[in-house]
Amino acid sequence: MSAGLNLAQLQAVRFTSGPCLVLAGAGSGKTRVITHKIAHLIEQGMEPKRIAAITFTNKAAAEMRERAKGLIGKAAKDVVVCTFHALGVRMVREDGKVLGLKPQFSILDQDDVTSILKDAAGGTTDAATARQWQWTISLWKNMGLNATQALAQAKDDHERSIALIMQRYEERLTAYQSVDFDDLISLPLKLLRDHPEVRAKWQAALGHVLVDEYQDTNATQYELLKLLVGERGRFTAVGDDDQSIYGWRGATLDNLKKLPVDYPQLQVIKLEQNYRSTSAILRAANNVIGPNPKLFPKTLFSELGEGEPVRVVDADSEEHEAERAVARLQGLRAAANPPPDWKSFAILYRANHQAKPFEKALRKANIPYKVSGGTSFFDRAEIRDLCAWFRLWINSDDDPAFLRAITNPKRGIGHTTLAQLGAFGAAHHTSLFAALFSPMLPATLPRRALDGLHEFGRYINDLEYRARQTRGAEAARAFLTEWLQEIDYEKHLYDGEDSEKVAAARWSNVLEFCDWMAQRAGGQIDDTAGATTQMETKSLLEVAQNIALLSTLSEREKDQDVVTLSTLHASKGLEWPHVILAGVTEGMLPFKLDDDGGRQQKVSDDTLARLQEERRLMYVGITRAQRTLAVSWTKKRKKGREMVAAQPSRFIAEMALSASTAREDPREKLKALRAEFARKAQERAEPPVG
């Protein structure tokens, strides 16, 4: 068990009798402590299902379960490895009854929430305003406020009006038997706080709780953790205050400060050796984070040697930057024998839209890549259509899903009919689905409209029944294929798109999604959303229940040999041998406050605090690199619609690189091209294998 752990790590792993905080810089093996501690607890005799390990993303959960499996084998599948949100879903499904929620509640996504808010405000609001409300409401919820409390503490008329909308929003959610993402934390919290029997049950069920990336938890998550572990406080939190990058979403370093106060018996363990990066990279990282105030002083060292100097690459434009990045990848491949895999490269940037030029350049060079942390598969219209149907099978009170399903594909039920149905539902306090079968409805609707509604209602009931019976991959695939034919979804896509190519791409997404659903029903892939891994077959209905939580089809991404394009936020906790940080341009990173029209400024007026968070973001980026790191910047950048002259980010100067080695040799590109030609020529000369 002690294999591959240093003394401090070992101490953290072996201390299981009380609260433990591992506070350490990037790459010092914090996540490794968690996986090893899971194994250690099991070896000590704790039942796997009594251990909960909380990660920041589903992807991190999948990875952690994989690593735990490597250490302890099959027992790992019963350990609860998931995000706070997924744990919340499980708690609310099991015990939500006491809050008046049925187990089949729906989980609303961002778009549903925006349209409910627009509706709650009377319907004339634009999407941007609705999203701003959503943002404010979400912050309030994360502070533990409900609408009444938000109203009481509102500072001005603007906030008061949002609090009133929040009130109507809450009413709607209750009516729809639906919850939003913030509820997945606040409802479990309410459950544990207000219901001693539920609290006792969960405290008894969990023997030890481990939390990765603790610095990015918010106030409600911390409260939830406290109630889950109770007085004994058997938990292990690992984190790094220098990597706190979700302040804009309500995460708070107060959680770190509070731990020693709330738990005087807290064991604080510091790790100082970095096992990830070369000294050159680590020095740049330490230099950048230096100017930030220290919550806890830390020093980090590496024994991996000095390594390659960190390079700075300047580019004329974003396109040029992308070309130079590709040249760098090719150069690094050409310089090593055997060449590194594509999956050992990552290109990281501040914002999603920055991926575009890199995608283009990589495609042009025939280099395989994936974009992670970008627009999710589940945000695509076609996938959201299908999910609306699933949601309706599970929870017929889900009005937003009802409206989407009944109109996609169109089935000749018009807006007037739906508006009348809506009015009827509102008048009788029932959901649209329940309204449709009401014996009083015929009096208010024409015959033809009524028939259409009834047919739809019966069809949903029938699908729900069949989905419940459908178990295993083959059956699920057959069911889904038949259903898509019945509703003629392929035709719907082609009718709705001017471009056949776009329609075909959408249809192929649909097929891929169904295939993935079928695999889950067959238990062939881990259920990263559910709190436990179940490798048994599942009914299609069970599979559908957890979809809302997933943001990527991450399981498919495993082991693909491709270059990663990712936002800095999504790169947290990960590592690659070769990293390029792109767009390290003043105004992009750090992001310039006045570029967004002051929109974000409402969230935090504190410019200095924001600069510090940007600096931590840069620190996270630098510390993803194991062996080589290049930072690139552009001499022009977009500001609104214009292009303006730009300077290298102040963070580049802060890295304090040696001027003689930092500038990348422009001849690299030439060398790379030559090497690539040589390789191609050699490939042609070699007979094909097989």
Taking the mean position of all CA atoms in its chain, how far away is CA 395?
Answer: 24
Residue nearest to ligand ATP (CB): 29
Q: Which of 182, 216, 240, 318 binds ligand ATP (CB under 6 A)?
A: 240
> By C-alpha distance, which of 298, 323, 302 is closest to 313?
323
Distance from C-alpha of 600 to C-alpha of 68, rounded to nearest angstrom: 40
**How many angstroms separate the first and last alpha carbons of the chain?**
43
Please indicate whether residue 243 is annotated as part of the active site: yes
Least distance (Å) from ligand ATP to the CB of residue 300? 10
Sequence-ordered list of residues with C-beta below 8 angstroms from that of 72, at least 6 positions apart, any chain? 38, 39, 42, 43
| Residue 11 binds ligand ATP (CB under 6 A) | no
Structure letter (DSSP) for residue 688: P
Catalytic residue among 243, 252, 545, 626: 243
| Residue 626 binds Mg ion (CB under 5 A) | no
Helices (H), 408-539: 415-428, 432-436, 447-469, 473-486, 489-496, 500-521
Phi and psi at 232, nearest 5°, equal -65, -30
Q: Which of 6, 317, 438, 524 binds ligand ATP (CB under 6 A)?
A: 6
> Which partner from the list ligand ATP, Mg ion, none does 6 bind, CB cut-off 5 to 8 Å by kind?
ligand ATP
Asked if residue 297 has a cis previous peptide bond (ω within 30° of 0), the answer is no
Please indicate whether residue 474 is annotated as part of the active site: no
Q: Which is nearer to ligand ATP, 470 or 623 (CB)?
A: 623
User: What single letter denotes the amino acid at residue 357?
Assistant: P
| Residue 31 binds Mg ion (CB under 5 A) | yes
Please indicate whether residue 623 is annotated as part of the active site: no
Residue nearest to Mg ion (CB): 31
Catalytic residue among 9, 31, 114, 634: 31
Q: Which of 12, 28, 84, 610 binds ligand ATP (CB under 6 A)?
A: 28
Q: Which of 29, 452, 523, 583 binds ligand ATP (CB under 6 A)?
A: 29
Sequence-ordered list of residues with C-beta below 8 angstroms from that of 286, at least 6 positions apart, any chain? 300
Q: Which of 248, 275, 301, 377 binds ligand ATP (CB under 6 A)?
A: 275
| Residue 354 binds ligand ATP (CB under 6 A) | no
Please indicate whether residue 624 is annotated as part of the active site: yes
Q: What track of x and - describes contact with Mg ion for positions 564 through 583 (by CB under 5 A)? A: ---------x----------
Which residue has 């459908």 as its token pair?
A: 470
Least distance (Å) from Mg ion to the CB of residue 30? 5
**Residues that contact ligand ATP, how many (by CB under 6 A):** 19
Least distance (Å) from Mg ion to the CB of residue 296? 17
Q: Which is nearer to ligand ATP, 62 or 473 (CB)?
A: 62
**Residue 430 to residues 258, 399, 465: CA-CA distances in angstroms?**
45, 10, 22
Distance from C-alpha of 591 to C-alpha of 650, rounded to nearest angstrom: 11
> By C-alpha distance, which of 165, 235, 332 is closest to 21?
235
Q: Which of 8, 31, 95, 241 binds ligand ATP (CB under 6 A)?
A: 31
| Residue 221 binds Mg ion (CB under 5 A) | no
Distance from C-alpha of 300 to C-alpha of 285, rounded to nearest angstrom: 10
Please indicate whether residue 31 is annotated as part of the active site: yes
Please indicate whether residue 683 is annotated as part of the active site: no
Q: What track of x and - describes contact with Mg ion for positions 84 through 113 (by CB under 5 A)? A: ------------------------------
User: What single letter denotes the amino acid at residue 406?
Assistant: I
Structure letter (DSSP) for residue 687: P
Q: What track of x and - describes contact with ligand ATP for positions 528 through 567 (by CB under 6 A)? A: ----------------------------------------
Q: Which is nearer to Mg ion, 330 or 567 (CB)?
A: 567
Sequence-ordered list of residues with C-beta below 8 angstroms from that of 345, at least 6 positions apart, any chain? 329, 332, 563, 564, 576, 577, 578, 579, 580
> Which partner from the list Mg ion, ligand ATP, none does 28 bind, CB cut-off 5 to 8 Å by kind?
ligand ATP
Interface with Mg ion by CB under 5 A: which residues? 30-31, 573
**Residues known to be catalytic:** 30-31, 212-213, 243, 624
